[in-house]
Chain A
């Protein structure tokens, strides 16, 4: 994928650009939505609405202010929060409960149901938890602080440390020759 070419065609709403975006980023966005919504049918409806918004607002994406995926990720998170809050409001109205709890408690009962995969697992557990809540569940830092029962300052520190560690993790991709070299080093260390 030629990223520069894609965002240029997307900005002009050229034919095929949205399909290419769907092919390249659809599954990533769906992964986030599915984790938040915890319901396949609902997640599919939200994904559809997200792509409608992405296409409709193509002109407002500014590549100088961040990457296309980050922009779409924010749309996906906001849309999912709106959807799931609407849904939980409906549920609460249906049961006619006077005991209105925080919508987030009802919305996100799926924490830790789908474990994060990939290199993010090499983060320290406490850093992975805040990234999970904030990046994959759409929590604010205050909500993450309440959920994890830790001070807000600690959440901020962990966010910063996690992003720093992630930059190091994804600094460069692993060339095959270097991978073999590393494997030899690890084997030597573990056997000797």
Chain B
């Protein structure tokens, strides 16, 4: 039976939620879900993210399809619900009138030139808006993560290093905020390690050039440790090149 850290590191959880595992691996994974509540939580968490994407990309089927489908599936339908409110219909009618009026006005005065100009302006605004929305979403995501009640900050500070590790056991995410690090050569990198039951688990490499960087999530670490390693990272920490270390505890 695999250890839960190895299961998470193997990518099996992602393959499981995306339905990509072979039947044999699927059975194995279901065994892990039963054995490890934290794996079960992670699966539910990923499932929910994908469910939300699907919800945001939903397409409403034709209304008359519902009765046909519910009838053919053999389920007794609930009592009929009331039809859509007149408020919606009135709003839709009013919006239709406004749109028609606006279009008629444009057509009346040199419509081609104006429509082209409007199209260009709209495309430009749309592009600008999309960029802003992405920037906003990215900043908002980071702020949500940092302010989330389950996010625990762990300062790692020495004379030449100043970092903060963020650990969130609900979202199963880890992130490092780099403020200051010692100079390293081009063929070296920084690597984060989590001490779990006396074993140093690799959390990934990171650079001194970016503020916030994602690292691998590790369950129940006892401490976080930064070492300098050859470019690309190492499978075991070079203890002689330990930069900074700090203990971790929940609460």
A interface, CB within 8 angstroms of B: 13, 15-20, 22, 26-32, 34-35, 44, 47-48, 51-52, 54-56, 64-67, 69-70, 73-74, 77, 116-122, 131, 134-136, 140-141, 156, 159-160, 163-164, 166-172, 174, 178-179, 182, 185-186, 189-190
A22 in contact with B47 (CB, 8 Å) = no
The 8 closest A-B pairs by CB, nearest first: A118-B56, A18-B75, A27-B58, A15-B76, A122-B137, A166-B49, A16-B78, A67-B47
> Which residues of B are found within 8 Å of A170, using beta-carbon distances?
48-49, 52
CA distance A159 to B14 in the complex (A): 7
CA distance A141 to B18 in the complex (A): 10
B49 in contact with A64 (CB, 8 Å) = no
A/B interface sample: 13 pairs, CB < 8 A: A19-B77, A27-B61, A52-B74, A65-B33, A70-B17, A116-B57, A118-B53, A122-B134, A122-B141, A135-B18, A140-B20, A166-B49, A190-B132
B171 in contact with A168 (CB, 8 Å) = yes
Which one of B143-151, B157-165, B189-197 contacts A?
B143-151
B72 in contact with A134 (CB, 8 Å) = no
CB contact under 8 A between A118 and B57, given known A48-B72, A65-B30, A174-B140: yes
CA distance A22 to B72 in the complex (A): 13
Chain B contact residues: helix, strand, loop or mixed: helix
CA distance A131 to B53 in the complex (A): 10
CB contact under 8 A between A64 and B33, given known A32-B54, A48-B68: yes
CA distance A17 to B139 in the complex (A): 40
B57 in contact with A31 (CB, 8 Å) = yes
CA distance A134 to B76 in the complex (A): 35
**B122 touches A (CB below 8 Å):** no
CA distance A164 to B43 in the complex (A): 12
A27 in contact with B134 (CB, 8 Å) = no
A47 in contact with B61 (CB, 8 Å) = yes
**B124 touches A (CB below 8 Å):** no
CA distance A15 to B58 in the complex (A): 25
Contact of B11 among A54, A156, A168 (CB under 8 A): A156
Contact of B54 among A73, A168, A185 (CB under 8 A): A73
Across the interface, name the chain A residue whose C-beta is closest to B79.
Answer: A16
> Which residues of A are found within 8 Å of B55, using beta-carbon distances?
28
> Which residues of B are found within 8 Å of A163, using beta-carbon distances?
14, 17-18, 46, 49-50
- What's the nearest-Cβ distance from chain A to residue B51, in Å? 4
CA distance A26 to B50 in the complex (A): 15
**B90 touches A (CB below 8 Å):** no
> Which residues of B are found within 8 Å of A44, using beta-carbon distances?
61-62, 65
> Which residues of A are found within 8 Å of B172, using beta-carbon distances?
167
CA distance A116 to B71 in the complex (A): 31
> Which residues of A are found within 8 Å of B145, using beta-carbon distances?
168, 171
B49 in contact with A167 (CB, 8 Å) = yes
State which residues 1-47 of B face A: CB under 8 Å. 11, 14-20, 30, 33-34, 40, 43-47
- What's the nearest-Cβ distance from chain A to residue B149, in Å? 9
A186 in contact with B58 (CB, 8 Å) = no
> Which residues of B are found within 8 Å of A185, using beta-carbon distances?
139, 143
Contact of B56 among A51, A70, A73, A120 (CB under 8 A): A120
Across the interface, name the chain A residue whose C-beta is closest to B68.
Answer: A48
> Which residues of B are found within 8 Å of A17, using beta-carbon distances?
75
> Which residues of A are found within 8 Å of B51, using beta-carbon distances?
28, 67, 69-70, 73
A70 in contact with B50 (CB, 8 Å) = yes
CA distance A16 to B32 in the complex (A): 34
CA distance A18 to B132 in the complex (A): 41
> Which residues of A are found within 8 Å of B108, using beta-carbon distances?
none
> Which residues of A are found within 8 Å of B72, using beta-carbon distances?
48, 51-52
